[in-house]
Structure 1
Amino acid sequence: MTWAYSLDTFELVIIAVFAALYILYVVRLTRIKSRLNVPISKWLIKFTIRTLYFLMILGALLGPSFGDTTREIKSVGKDIFVCVDLSESMNAFDVQPSRLEKLKFELKNVVEAFSSDRIGLIMFSNEAFMQCPLTYDNNALNLFIQALNTSLVPSSGTDFGPPLKMALKKLTDEATSVTQQKSKIIILISDGEDFGEETDQIAEEIESSGIKLFTLGIGTERGSKIMTNRGYKRNNQGEEVVSKINTKSLRKLAADTGGKFFEINERQNDVERLINSINDIEGELRDAKQLDAKANKYFYFLIAALALMLIDALITVKVIKL
């Protein structure tokens, strides 16, 4: 038999109080016997019954477990790569406080929603860089998310090809079956048009591999100016650039791979829908273990205590005859 809890201060105080009261009870009966010459052996019946149900109640509080049982514990999870566009247009503030800051806030909600899954982070513009490999360490991942800024990558256009190619390679490095590939997910986040030439080819590879691809666009149709360290960004003619969301490439990419497109703008936030869509995907079985499991059998002790209390109430023991 094993116990879920040990004797702590509370249980020890109860035992001490019980013992003190019964010692006083025994002393009182001993004095009666010495003065009136009355046998006190019968009081032992009550004492024994009360001691037993007191111990039963105490045992129930300690959580007794007995009997050998085993239980299979399965570890199921997904692998998720998040690809974040860090081109300068992500500094636009048509989504407050800015597209990138809003995205960083929402990404932390995504990380929290999939705390038992492995999540990786790729940043890109026209090139892709691994910011964080697949990890279970959500605290480290949140630090990498918080550190995202547009100065981390070259700012010379947006190309969806490199981040998708990198995510695909990392997700297919391990030898996995087609069924397990379906638990692998890529989330591509951007606000602009794709200027890459290999995106269609990589999209076909993603679709044929069974990996799910979701795209998330952030920005508004009216757009906004882009803040830089030197003021608002200007084009070659010296005019201030206004960045507007371009969802055409993102929608096409999602459609070509059998995925879904989501959006964040001033009136709409699809992050919750994105989370629900990922939740609908069945995770892969990573590990299964047989563990010894013993159920808490406190109720047996309580039943015994109640039965003894009933007997105690029904039995009357005379200790003094007048």
Structure 2
Amino acid sequence: MIWAYPDISLILTLAILFGLLYFIYLFRFYLINKKLEVKKHRLFFKILLRFSYFILFLIALSGPSVGTALKEIKEEGKDIFIAIDLSQSMNATDIGPSRLQRIKFELKNLVKNFAGDRIGLIIFSSEAFVQCPLTFDQNVIQLHLDGLNTNLVPNQGTDISAPLNMALEKFNLENSPDINSKSVILISDGEDFADNFRDQTSRLSEQGIKVFSLGVGTSQGSTIPRGNSRIIDPNTNQPAVSRLESNNLKLIASQTDGQYFELSDEVQEIPDLMAAIERQEGTVTGSRMIEASANKYFYFLLIGLGLALLDLMLPIKTINL
């Protein structure tokens, strides 16, 4: 027999309390016995009855499980590529301390919620690179997130189609049969100097790969620091101002049946993003058999209640008048 709630201290406390109260009850009968004739065999029956249903209540409280059976537990997981924009505009400070630093902080918390899923990192600007292939290893993911900076990729503009194409190629190399298990989290300020992502979104949609885009920044924007100075716009010879351009990110999400979210000091939709990914159906990654037993506390409780009701409804005379 297996006990679901083997709290010995609680059981002993209740038993001592019951014993103390019943000792007082018996002592009262002892005093009565000095003056009146008590039928001791009937008194013994009442004591046995009450001890019986009290013990049954204690057994029910401990949650007895009787019998075992093998039960199959299926383990499900998802494949998620996180594509992070590392163009110079991600150093803008319209979100403190900067867009990139804020994203690194938020992603560390996000990936912890998907410990049972494979996560990969793609970094991009004008080109895209796989920073970390799909893996279950949370420590590796966290290590790569710590090292993210805008010097890891060439910075001749931003091409949003590059990470989409890279994710599509890597997913096609996988043998997972369940298309619902694959998704991309596209993180960017939305500035796209190529604007040629429509072919990729069409192919992603055909294969059931959803893109959840996260716009980082504000519509007011800010200048972009570079060392002790600011990046200069060659057209105006003034400090360049980077603003959140959400139109392309919203379009990519809608064309792949995904969703668009934003992150700024005023709008924080990371929890909504995590909830949307969690709703995605996962792939069965494995199964295992475990021994399961059924909690039978109800039967002990039912018998105990029956004896208690019998004690209340059919009182037994213990005193001769």
**Which TM-score applies when normalising by structure 1?**
0.76
User: 1:306/1:167 Cα in 2 relative to 1: closer, same or farther (>3 Å)?
Assistant: same
- Larger mean CA deviation between 262-271 and 230-239 belongs to 262-271
Question: Secondary structure of the equivalent of 1:148?
Answer: coil
The code of the aligned residue for 1:209 comes to: Q
- Larger mean CA deviation between 137-146 and 23-32 belongs to 23-32
Which of 214, 223, 226 lines up with 2:224 in the alignment? 226
Q: Percent identity?
A: 43
Aligned counterparts of 1:86 and 1:125: Cα–Cα separation in 2: 6
Aligned counterparts of 2:31 and 2:266: Cα–Cα separation in 1: 87
Show structure 1 runs of 5+ residues with no match.
none
**Conserved 8 A contact 1:70-1:292:** yes
Question: Secondary structure of the equivalent of 1:93?
Answer: coil
- Larger mean CA deviation between 74-83 and 157-166 belongs to 157-166
Show structure 2 runs of 5+ residues with no match.
none
**Conserved 8 A contact 2:82-2:187:** yes
Aligned counterparts of 1:277 and 1:25: Cα–Cα separation in 2: 62
The code of the aligned residue for 1:184 comes to: K
What are the equivalent positions in structure 2 for 1:49-128 lying under 5 Å apart? 49-68=49-68, 71-107=71-107, 110-111=110-111, 114=114, 116-128=116-128
Aligned counterparts of 2:290 and 2:9: Cα–Cα separation in 1: 32
| Counterpart for residue 244 of structure 1 | 243
Aligned CA-pair RMSD? 4.1
Deviation at 1:8, TM superposition (A): 1.5
Aligned counterparts of 1:309 and 1:264: Cα–Cα separation in 2: 62
Deviation at 1:58, TM superposition (A): 0.7
Aligned counterparts of 2:309 and 2:93: Cα–Cα separation in 1: 75
Deviation at 1:82, TM superposition (A): 1.0
Question: Secondary structure of the equivalent of 2:54?
Answer: helix
| Counterpart for residue 182 of structure 1 | 180
Aligned counterparts of 2:183 and 2:251: Cα–Cα separation in 1: 17
**Conserved 8 A contact 1:193-1:248:** no
**Conserved 8 A contact 1:33-1:39:** no
Deviation at 1:87, TM superposition (A): 1.4
What are the equivalent positions in structure 2 for 1:5-24 lying under 5 Å apart? 5-19=5-19
User: 1:264/1:55 Cα in 2 relative to 1: closer, same or farther (>3 Å)?
Assistant: closer
State how many pairs are aligned.
319
Aligned counterparts of 2:141 and 2:23: Cα–Cα separation in 1: 62
| Counterpart for residue 216 of structure 1 | 214
- Larger mean CA deviation between 127-136 and 294-303 belongs to 127-136
